[in-house]
Amino acid sequence: MPHAHSKLNFIPQSFNPAVLKLSHVLLPFVLRFRVRRWLIGGITRIQAENVETLVKLYQQFQAGKIRFLMAFRHPEVEDPLCLLYLLSRIVPRVARKEGISLHLPVHNHFIYDRGMVIWAGKWLGWLFSRGGGIPIHRGKPLDRIALKAARELFVNGEFPLTVAPEGATNGHHERVSPLEPGVAQLGFWCVEDLMKANRTEEVYILPISLRYYYIKPPWAKLAQLLAQLEADTGLPVQHLDQSDLSHPEEILYPRLFKLGEYLLTELEAFYHRFYRQTIPPIPEDPNLTPNQILGIRLQNLLDTALKVAEDYFNLPQQGTIIDRCRRLEEAGWNAVYREDIPDINKISPLQRGLANWIAEEGELRVKHMRLVESFVAVSGSYVKENPTAERFAETTLILFDLISRIKGVKMPRRPRLGKRRVKITIGEPISVNKRWETYQQSRKIAKEAIANLTNDLYIALEELVKI
């Protein structure tokens, strides 16, 4: 059970070249050999497109002509490892081919979620700090310490800054989640700070897409995973042999759809019975397809789950799903990591016991948000639109995460379905300076400029996903 702790301290970045060099040496082995339970798989090949653009940006950055931020799609936990490979292996190789001399190492400062250190352990905070990373509380309305550190690094850091504007992994390689406005705001702050310092560097935001492909479509392992999930939920288990998979998408899709429907029905009943929630009925429209109905039910369920947690924490039920998730995450952290208790070891046993009660309650309520967070990018038609092995795997693994959490697995380890390759696509840099004149006119117009820049970045990432 969770216990109360003193407040979380900020972990300052403390870049160490020796730690980075060791990371570069170990990287190929980490990418290739990742053993999780009973399935073995890893990244066997990383290819990148339009790398010349990134090389030229680094050349200009190192010459003191520009500052830039890399805004990357974040579908998987392996994304940072793939980006590390891009910068440590591919960019120097392409630079040599182009006859461009870059100062080594080619690296980046980066922003990461403070929660990762909570889940993985203090060692990760040590490693990220030595790698040049800055932790941020995603749910805080304004994490001043982290934003100040990021702002400083964007202007004066030894390396460019890297941020995932989606804020978290969404498990979908072909669907971009709503972007948070922080990247655009950092861009405008950088222009402002450079102008105040009478510096002439141009500021750019560079969109980057990552997509993963299975070397061999893992239909047999997907069938096994579906059978496992059917057993976990009490549905009839269907065991298939290889001869049944001549047209796997036709065999497996009805099972996946039935599993999704069953989970929705169970969770709707759960929230209605035990939390007295009334879930809106489906509109009486004969033109609605089963997939559209599934999508509507899912969105209604996500809204209901968030309301349950928001009611407990007395939080407003407003904003996007992402906004609401971040707000709830911060409320959960505040229940466990008490900013009002300077030293948890110096309070009485009674006070500590009461603090532990609050921590347990907070952790329990945040589980509702975690359910929603897993399904932010999920729709009722994603697989049906294009029933590839990748889309099947993404959706099935998200259901695996959900069922594992309900079963009480705190950090479910996804089974590896097979070896994969990664395609990294570098987009075209977006100038922030060209938008500065509009941004500086007024506070209201500044908000519009941030929203417009965020939207343009979203469109750029969507286009990269299609390549």
CA dist 111 and 10 (Å) reads 13
CA dist 377 and 320 (Å) reads 13
Q: What is the pLDDT of residue 242?
A: 64
pTM of the model: 0.90
Residue 260 backbone dihedrals phi, psi, to 5 degrees: -60, -45
The predicted-structure confidence for 151-209, as pLDDT tens digits, reads as follows: 999 999 999 999 999 988 888 889 898 898 999 999 999 999 999 999 999 999 999 99
| Chain centroid to CA 26 | 24
Torsion region of 198: left, alpha or beta (phi above 0 gives left; psi -120 to 50 gives alpha): left
Residue 276, class by beta-carbon neighbours within 10 Å (0-12 exposed, 13-18 middle, 19+ buried)?
A: exposed
Q: Dump the DSSP string for 73-134.
A: ---STTHHHHHHHIIIIIHHHHHHHHT---PSP---EEEEETHHHHHH-HHHHHHHHHTTEE
Extract the residue ranges of the chain whose pLDDT is less than 70: 1, 33-41, 139-141, 241-244, 377
For the domain spanning 10-215+420-466, the CATH number is 3.40.1130.10
Is residue 338 a contact partner of residue 6, using CB atoms and an 8 Å limit? yes
Kindly list the domain boundaries of the chain, sorted by start residue: 10-215+420-466, 219-407
Q: What is the pLDDT of residue 392?
A: 94
State which amino acid sits at residue 66: I
| Residue that the structure tokens 């989640």 belong to | 177
CA dist 31 and 29 (Å) reads 5
Residue 204 backbone dihedrals phi, psi, to 5 degrees: -130, 155
